[in-house]
Chains A and B, each alone.
Chain A
Amino acid sequence: DGGITQSPKYLFRKEGQNVTLSCEQNLNHDAMYWYRQDPGQGLRLIYYSQIVNDFQKGDIAEGYSVSREKKESFPLTVTSAQKNPTAFYLCASTPGQGLGEQFFGPGTRLTVL
């Protein structure tokens, strides 16, 4: 089955540590996205990538970094510069130009202790 996988489902880290969240898709989609979701809030865009080796900042990129070395993979690193990293992180993808719907992974819940 095609889809998006995110691992791990739950992640715990100590304050001050960098952590990388995995996102893999086998849908052959060109564009990929990272969102952050906080309780009672909508989704906020962190980074997006339309093609391999290219990515752009979203609305809340500070304290995050990404890479897009392969079409299937778009890992997100939450750095120690992110002041409030505890949240639910969602990865999504769209085919081609992306006017169609976004397809979402199951999410990773990050808790920084």
Chain B
Amino acid sequence: AQSVTQLGSHVSVSEGALVLLRCNYSSSVPPYLFWYVQYPNQGLQLLLKYTSAATLVKGINGFEAEFKKSETSFHLTKPSAHMSDAAEYFCAVSRGNYGQNFVFGPGTRLSVLP
């Protein structure tokens, strides 16, 4: 069974500082990996996805993530945090065919301090 872990349920950074949100997965087959963002009382919005093309994936709002097979990781980064980045971030892995097999991590709440 596939699973996703996100280290740190809550991360705080200062405005302008580097954002690093960690995601590790377990998968018996090459996975598809995703990062989503959720603002309070809203649905999830896709930030970026890895689907076995380039290992460094660029997404919206200046975020990017690097797929590292040897470390089974897909960490999310942004060079400079903005106040508007404060939200909940979810890493997800597709565990096979037919899309019903998405597995979401528990989420990391990002706070941005002025």
A residues bordering B, Cβ < 8 Å? Answer: 4, 6, 31, 33, 40-43, 45, 48, 50, 56, 58, 88, 90, 92, 94, 97-107, 109
Contacts and interface: CB of A to CB of B under 8 A. Distances in A.
Contacts of A48: 100
A45 B41 contact: no
5 contacts: A42-B90, A50-B100, A97-B98, A99-B94, A99-B97
A90 B9 contact: no
A7 to B, nearest CB: 13
B99 A31 contact: yes
B100 A56 contact: yes
B51 interface: yes
Interface in B82-100: 90, 92, 94, 97-100
Contacts of A42: 90, 104-107
Contacts of A105: 43
A73 to B, nearest CB: 17
A109 B100 contact: no
Interface of B: 9, 32, 34, 36, 41-46, 49, 51, 90, 92, 94, 97-100, 102, 104-107
B90 A97 contact: no
Given A42-B105, A104-B45, A99 B90 contact: no
B44 A104 contact: yes
A32 to B, nearest CB: 10
B100 A107 contact: no
A56 B99 CA distance: 12
A50 B99 CA distance: 9
A107 B9 contact: no
A100 B99 contact: yes
A102 B106 contact: no
B42 A102 contact: no
Nearest to A90: B43
A107 B41 contact: yes
Contacts of B42: 106-107
A43 B100 contact: no
Given A104-B43, A106-B43, A107-B41, A99 B104 contact: no
